[in-house]
């Protein structure tokens, strides 16, 4: 059967032998045919046990079908979409995550962050996790160095972790990851190195400090299907320089965010829409000499202060005896 042509939509289609009473408006007949497909698929999820699963899948089907109807998706375009996702799957492994990249460049990641952002006024704003977080980063002591051999200008990062009520948060688990000065994360190198990532705990007064390297702007991996998408859109792959944070503490909402380097030329055209004004931070440059902790640097170094404010989780009273 030939696909229904967009140009054929106006006018009338003839059902049956062509008698005048058997004709219906073409648009109405076509719409009914399409709605029947959607209704049948929606009904197929009616037996799902989990209400949330059913809600998500039914909504996904409704919106996906509405999208196909709106653009009058051709079979060639459907195949191109399948090919795109197939390529994304083939290029993804435990060190390359093309699907997170796709979510990022489509703004779905930032929309999900916005939907789930805590309502607590004063909490540090969240942003995308990105495709380069990997579990198993090494622990470093307070004041330690997470660079692990990553190339770049030494950078002293310090601040305090507090709740929105101003209370210090001791023992918070602070995980950080970043690119080296060439714009590459450790997982982008084929030699299995671990560098530019690590975690530490905040001190009893909520303070934290560590050495790292000054972050650099970098292009998201654009040698795969997501890169082709950006090229077709006339968009660039660059992200402004940033340092990723993931902060966990009991009783508080987990915070995933970055700090961005003030003055970076890509702040207004981040490929993944992750920049928020409140996260743009001044990085100070220093000549060779001693850092705040007495460490001697024979090359210029950088420092930044970033105070982290966590939103409290809602208090859930426990039943007596539990």
Contact set with Fe ion (CB under 5 A): 130
Tokens linked to 66: 């509405």
What is the rounded CA–CA span in Å between residue 139 and residue 168?
22
CB atoms within 10 A of CB 320: 5
Cα–Cα distance measured from residue 220 to residue 228, given in angstroms and rounded to the nearest whole number: 12
Distance CA 14, CA 312 (A): 64
Using the minimum distance from each CB to Fe ion, give the nearer residue, 130 or 195.
130
Q: Which is nearer to Fe ion, 178 or 291 (CB)?
A: 178
**What minimum distance in Å lies between the beta carbon of 200 and Fe ion?**
19
Of 142, 209, 157, 214, whose CA–CA distance to 183 is shortest? 214
| Strand arrangement, sheet containing 255-261 | 197-201, 173-177, 242-248, 255-261, 280-281
For residue 218, the minimal CB distance to Fe ion (Å) is 7
Q: Which two tokens stand for residue 240?
A: 């402004």
Rounded-to-integer distance, Cα 185 and Cα 170, Å: 29
Helix (H) / strand (E) containing 261: strand 255-261
CB of 246 to Fe ion, least distance (A): 12
Q: Which residue is nearest to Fe ion (CB)?
A: 130
Q: Are 244 and 235 in contact (CB under 8 A)?
A: no
Output 4 or 133, the one with its CB closest to Fe ion.
Answer: 133
Q: How far is the CB of 270 from Fe ion (least distance, A)?
A: 10
Rounded CA-CA distance 245/259 in Å is 8
Contact indicator for 169, 161 with CB cutoff of 8 Å: yes
Please state the closest distance from residue 244 (CB atom) to Fe ion, in A.
6
CB of 53 to Fe ion, least distance (A): 32
Give me the least distance between CB of 179 and Fe ion, in Å please. Answer: 6
Three-state DSSP state, 102: helix
DSSP class of residue 168 equals B
């Amino acid at each position: 059967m030939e696909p229904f042509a967009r140009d054929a939509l106006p006018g009338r289609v003839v059902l049956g032998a062509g008698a005048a009473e058997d004709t219906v408006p073409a648009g109405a007949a076509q719409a009914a045919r399409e709605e029947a497909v959607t209704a049948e698929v929606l009904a197929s999820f009616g037996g799902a046990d989990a209400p949330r699963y059913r809600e998500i899948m039914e909504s996904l089907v409704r919106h996906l079908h509405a999208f196909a109807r709106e653009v009058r998706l051709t079979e060639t375009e459907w195949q191109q979409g399948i090919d795109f996702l197939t390529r994304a799957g083939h290029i993804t492994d435990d060190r390359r995550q093309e699907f997170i990249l796709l979510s990022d460049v489509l703004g779905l990641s930032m929309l999900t962050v916005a939907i789930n952002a805590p309502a607590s006024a004063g909490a540090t704003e969240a942003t995308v996790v990105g495709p380069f977080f990997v579990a198993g980063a090494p622990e470093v002591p307070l004041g330690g160095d997470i660079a692990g051999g990553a190339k770049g200008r030494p950078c002293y990062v310090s601040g305090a972790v507090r709740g929105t009520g101003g209370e210090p948060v001791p023992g918070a688990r602070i995980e950080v990851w970043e690119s080296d000065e060439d714009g590459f994360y450790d997982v982008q190198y084929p030699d299995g190195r671990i560098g530019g990532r690590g975690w530490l705990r905040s001190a009893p007064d909520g303070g934290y400090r560590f050495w790292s390297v000054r972050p650099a702007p970098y292009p998201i991996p654009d040698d795969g299907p997501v890169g082709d998408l950006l090229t077709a859109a006339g968009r660039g792959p660059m992200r402004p320089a940033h340092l990723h944070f993931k902060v966990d503490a009991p009783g508080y909402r987990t915070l995933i965010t970055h700090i961005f380097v003030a003055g970076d030329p890509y702040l207004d055209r981040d490929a993944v829409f992750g920049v928020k004004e409140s996260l743009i931070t001044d990085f100070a440059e220093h000549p060779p000499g001693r850092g705040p902790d007495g460490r001697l640097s024979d090359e210029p170094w950088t420092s930044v202060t970033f105070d982290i404010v966590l939103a409290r989780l809602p208090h859930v009273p426990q039943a007596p005896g539990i």
